[in-house]
Chains A and B, each alone.
Chain A
Amino acid sequence: MAESPAQSDEELLDRFQRAAFGYFLEQFNPENGLVADTSRAGSPASIAVVGFALSCYAVGVERGWMTRADAVARTLVILRFFWDCSQDGQADATGYKGFYYHFLDMKTGKRVWQSEVSLIDTTLLLAGVLTVSVYFSEETPSENEIRKRADAIYRRVDWQWARGGGTTVRQGWKPESGFLHYGWGGYDEAIILYVLGLASPTHPFPESSYTKWTATYQWENIYDYEFLYAGPLFIHHFSQAWIDFAGIRDRFMREKKSDYFENSRCATYVQREYARRNPFGFDGYGKDCWGITANDGPGFQTLKIDGMERRFLGYAARGVPYGPDDGTIDPCAVLASLPFAPELSLSALHHFCVRYPEMIRDSRLPSGFNPTLRGDGPSGWVSEGYFGLDQGIIVLMIENYRSRLIWNLMRRCPYIGNGLRRAGFTGGWLS
């Protein structure tokens, strides 16, 4: 269905947000609460997507898209599963040391794809767990159980183990080979990981871990914008979906007289500027067509198109301005930038509706499209189905833009405040 450009911004956002929210009702297994990574047949569950689902329930209730009772019921199924699941770290378990395998079987809840115990995906799950622990605050048996189980799940996580004997945190662990032998370097989506790890009342990171990680930051002037650089756009979104960084600063941001909210705004402008310059001449790129990030792609292939050799990628972390860039745009990342640069995001959303209506199905945005790789319409190649992470970030960021709901909820979560303070954040709402 084509979107009408005549709609007001508010109407448009409401429709896209609600459509994205629908993903979490459709892809939910009522037996164990798991939510599919994608809408494609046979997709396993992603623990991060479950974290988004939990946060989306709060939005759904507030928007009147689901009843509080339904949200409570779904939340309890999820929390019970994650508390009761196997945590012995065996190859077919669900988790280890309070963390969880990245991908789980939708039915059994056991590890699939030989995936790793993922620290960042567990963190995103925990962000959802803590969101519901704050949102469901009524003194009822069900909501009391939500708060109790959420707290227990968070407290069980052994963050100290996750450092693998080092100062900073590792990216993951596998029973077959131990810790993945690389960690986090440079600015990335791990702030919320450090915040939750620092705040743990049971197994906290030392404060030095955050200092050591931020020592890898790089403050750059690119296209005359000064910002803390990270190439893929999602890095500027994921921690920010839960934490309101406006006005609060860690040591690095105090030194630079900026904050992570302003930084995400600059990153959005750099994305747009890159698309306007369009150094590799991809079709579609322009002031209203940007959004280069980690997302689905046309698949690994090299083709000659209009005399140019084009190398396309599958699901990959694309970035600006150093690449890789294969001409694939993620419209979801554009909507996720809404709170930081609404003037850019809304303009781009209207453009997508007018120029690429066929890639928008029932007001839901795909993980990627690539006008350079010819397809059935102007959108060119369009990603099949939908990805839970994309739909989740759309719901949360539109809500933060509209009502600041998630940000306000998490401000009330004591672990977030404690973690931020231990990381050295001061000012703003932390004062």
Chain B
Amino acid sequence: MTHFSAQQEQVVQQDQMLPSEPPDDRFHRALLHDVHPHAWRNPKSAGKYNLVVIGAGPGGITAAREATVLGAKVALIERNFIGGDRLNVGCVPSKAIIRTARLYAEMRDADNVGAQVPGSIGIGFPTVMERMRRIQARLSRADSAQRLSEASVDVYFGEAHFAGPDTVEVAGDKLRFRKALIATGARPLTPPIPGLAEAGYLTNENVFNLTECPRRLLVMGGGPLGCELAQAFCRFGSHVIIAQDEPMFLPKEERDAAQILSNALARDGVEIHLNTTVVAVRVEGVRKVVDLVNDGDKFSVSVDEILAGIGRAPNVESLCLEAAGVRYDTETGIYVDDFLKTSNRRIYAAGDVCLEHKFTHAAEASAHIALRNALLLGRKRLSALTIPWCTYTDPEIAHIGLYVREAREKAIPVRTLTILMHDVDRAVTDGEEEGFVKIHVREGTDRILGATVVARHAGEMINGLSLAITSGIGLRDLARVIHTYPTQAEAIKMAADAYNRTRLTPTLKSLTRRWLAW
């Protein structure tokens, strides 16, 4: 019989409060039916596979589907749920609740666009989460185990590990392969903070299982996940405190973007603590008391829940990579070359398990390259990709290509064309004036090196610039592209027009004046 001290019992009670499973409703059951059917029977291994894919997240699914289209014999192994983080604990659930949170914010701000604020704005948090689960269930259909199987993919559920340089073992079956792709993704880092594990904390893996909105929530970390969810929960009515140990949010982004985000979070009511580190957590009654330090000044906050968003670790530990001769690091993941090949020439990797940029679209793009290189002797390079990304706060912050500091570190002379959203007609009519479009070009040319967009719909707007960079379209050509009026994406054309105006040197101006004087 195990004896607990009173304090330990308290800890256990707290830990038990954290939801490890979503509510067992029809939507969750429908999701499970697609992503990990209860009665699933793994197929009989039929000889050697052209490709074994470990991990059925966005990268793994992309590779498996493309390989079958090419006529390859493919096995896809998943230990948890098909769809990976994106569908189950990442982009899909977070964007679903962010949409609802945005609507609540719009209702409260209705008078700013000439509408009446509703008399009473009640937050139905269980309904918010139910809608999220409904959307997950709907989006799970496209790549369900059944659909993948029907597409000639052999779907295996179970923990996979390498049993040799050309063999993977899963659920007692040994699968031999000509090529393999590791796409096992990443998981939230465990913050080494005294008392945190005992008190229990949320990450992206369990926050979407909540059935009640925490009254007071501490968010640790001002990266994309922390900022997105801090804003969303604040809009659901939580008193949100965010502690970021850097002087600004999203430290990799433009300083001005971080400044605008900081303003937006503060306006929503998020209590912001920058340059602040969480040093300890303890449980007092039903509350979690968190000790923080800001430049030597110590203080404590009392909250109901703690959300940790401080980084991600690659899923490499249980794969027995040594057996296959695959080199890896537990922090940075599997070592790959520019062709995404590992130290075993038969084995490739893609997505979060090996990339610095841990995004769904990066996982899919890298899986596409890895697959072509593995099966078709391709020579496509990861470094040739230009990957945009977006943080889905309000306003959104999207980026592509080089930052100015990166260009200058490479001794590339750079200048920036900036258009403020408050100068874009559609942004003004929409009451969405916060933000900017900044396009960085190589000095003396119109070649786009990179861009940052901060706007309500920055994630949509960055795609036009992604097309321009990938296709080698410069600002002069962009200025010739007729954009629909009025749209917020017109800001991109306005930046191109601003560039054209700078080409009018004093000499040229003088010449045109003389010409027009006739």
- A: residues with CB less than 8 A from B are 114, 116, 174, 176-177, 180-182, 185-186, 215-222, 224, 226, 229, 231, 255-256, 277, 279-280, 307-309, 311, 319, 321-324
Contacts and interface: CB of A to CB of B under 8 A. Distances in A.
A324 B259 CA distance: 8
A220 B418 contact: yes
A185 to B, nearest CB: 6
Contact of A224 (B109, B112, B404, B498): B498
Contacts of A256: 415
Given A181-B275, A219-B416, 14 more contacts: A174-B295, A181-B245, A181-B295, A186-B255, A216-B408, A220-B416, A220-B417, A221-B418, A221-B499, A222-B420, A226-B415, A229-B416, A231-B256, A324-B259
A256 B444 CA distance: 10
A308 B275 contact: no
Contact of A174 (B246, B256, B263, B296): B296
B296 A226 contact: no
B38 interface: no
Contact of B416 (A116, A215, A218, A324): A218
Nearest to A279: B422
B259 A322 contact: yes
A116 B111 contact: no
B418 A279 contact: no
B295 A219 contact: no
A56 B442 CA distance: 44
B359 interface: no
Contacts of B297: 114, 176
Most buried by B among A222, A280, A307, A319: A222
A108 B247 CA distance: 32
A224 B501 contact: yes
B295 A116 contact: yes
B438 A277 contact: no
A322 B415 contact: no
B492 to A, nearest CB: 14
A255 B433 contact: no
Interface of B: 109, 111-112, 245-247, 255-256, 259-260, 263, 266-267, 275, 293, 295-297, 404-405, 408-409, 413-418, 420, 422-423, 433, 436, 438, 443, 498-499, 501-502
A277 B424 CA distance: 12
A277 B423 contact: yes
A321 B502 contact: no
Nearest to B258: A322
B408 to A, nearest CB: 5
A410 B49 CA distance: 77
A187 B443 CA distance: 19
Nearest to A219: B415
B405 to A, nearest CB: 6
A309 B259 CA distance: 20
A389 B25 CA distance: 63
Contacts of A324: 259, 263
A177 B296 contact: yes
Contacts of A231: 256, 259
A221 B246 contact: no
Would you list the 8 A-B pairs with minimal beta carbon distance, nearest first? A177-B296, A279-B422, A176-B296, A182-B247, A322-B256, A220-B416, A215-B408, A222-B418
B451 to A, nearest CB: 13
Nearest to A211: B408
Contacts of A224: 498, 501
A217 B408 contact: yes
A107 B420 CA distance: 49
A275 to B, nearest CB: 13
Contacts of A277: 422-423
Nearest to B293: A177
B255 A185 contact: yes
Nearest to A304: B111
Nearest to A215: B408
Contacts of B502: 221, 226
22 contacts: A114-B297, A174-B295, A174-B296, A176-B296, A177-B293, A177-B295, A180-B275, A181-B275, A182-B247, A219-B416, A224-B501, A255-B413, A256-B415, A279-B422, A279-B423, A308-B112, A309-B112, A311-B266, A321-B422, A322-B256, A323-B259, A324-B263
B291 to A, nearest CB: 14
Nearest to A313: B266
Contacts of B443: 255
A231 B259 CA distance: 11
A188 to B, nearest CB: 10
A279 to B, nearest CB: 3
Contacts of B111: 307
Given A218-B416, A219-B416, A322 B296 contact: no
Nearest to B435: A322
Nearest to A182: B247
B275 A219 contact: no
A229 B414 CA distance: 13
Contact of A279 (B255, B267, B433): B433
A75 to B, nearest CB: 33
Nearest to B294: A177
Query: A181, A220, A311, A319: which has the most chain B beta carbons within 10 Å?
Result: A220
Contacts of A221: 415-418, 498-499, 502
Nearest to B404: A218
Contacts of B422: 277, 279-280, 321
A311 B267 contact: yes
A385 B299 CA distance: 32
A323 B295 CA distance: 25
A266 to B, nearest CB: 13
Nearest to A323: B263
Contacts of A319: 259
A177 B263 CA distance: 28
Contacts of B260: 322-323
B277 to A, nearest CB: 9
A402 B498 CA distance: 37
Contacts of A218: 404, 416
A267 to B, nearest CB: 14
B280 to A, nearest CB: 16
A64 B364 CA distance: 75
Contact of B405 (A114, A176, A215): A215
Contacts of B499: 221
Given A116-B295, A181-B275, A219 B420 contact: no
Between A114, A217, A220, A221, the greatest number of chain B beta carbons within 10 A of the residue's beta carbon is seen for A221
